Structure 1
Amino acid sequence: MKKEFMKNSLYVMIIICVIGFIIIFSSGAIGKSMQYNYLQKYENAVPSNQLERYLNDITSNFRTAGQVISTLGGFGILLCGYAHYKEL
């Protein structure tokens, strides 16, 4: 029972870490998509410097969120690996 729980928690942490990396690497595409939606919302009446700032802020926010998620997943992987090592 305990080994099965450790194995399942290791899988969950690996998935969380991978999701974080996916968010990091796709933050540019997500930012561009949200920039396009922002431009459509205000019917092309947005100054270019404000649009560029919006893109940089959104991309940075998603990159930071991905880093936090992947870091938590990585630490979880290390803790699960250590717990599994102690069981051997």
Structure 2
Amino acid sequence: MKNKFLIGSLKCMVISFIIGMILIFLSTSIGLKMGYDAIQASGGGMETSQYEMIVKSNIDNFRTGGFVFSFIGGLGMLMSGYTLYKNIEE
């Protein structure tokens, strides 16, 4: 029963890690898309500095979120894997 819980926990951590990596790698595309959407929402025109600020802040936010997900997922994978290894060893 304990091993099933650990395997389930390990799966959740792997999924969290993968989501984080996807966010990190796609943060630039997401930021540019959000900048484009902001231009369209303002009627098709916007100051360059505003556009750059929107794109940069969104890229930074998604990259930070991806880092948090991947860090927690990676650390959780290590901890769950080690605990599972110790339980199998016994």
Shift of 1:20: 0.3
Q: Structure 1 vs Structure 2: percent identity of aligned residues? A: 40
**What is the SS of the residue equivalent to 1:45?**
coil
Give the TM-score of the pair, scaled to structure 1: 0.94
**What is the SS of the residue equivalent to 2:44?**
coil
Partner of 2:82: 82
Give the TM-score of the pair, scaled to structure 2: 0.92
Distance 1:6 1:68 in 2: 21
Amino acid of the structure 1 residue aligned with 2:44: N
1:1-88 mapped onto 2 (5 Å cutoff)? 1-87=1-87, 88=89
Amino acid of the structure 2 residue aligned with 1:40: Q
- How many corresponding residue pairs? 88
Root mean square deviation of aligned Cα: 0.9
Query: For structure 1, which runs of at least 5 residues remain unmatched after alignment?
Result: none
Moved more, 22-31 or 38-47: 38-47
**What is the SS of the residue equivalent to 1:44?**
coil
Deviations 1:30-79 (A, max 9, x none): 11111111111111231011101111111011000000110000110011
Distance 2:17 2:75 in 1: 9
Query: For structure 2, which runs of at least 5 residues remain unmatched after alignment?
Result: none
**What is the SS of the residue equivalent to 1:26?**
helix
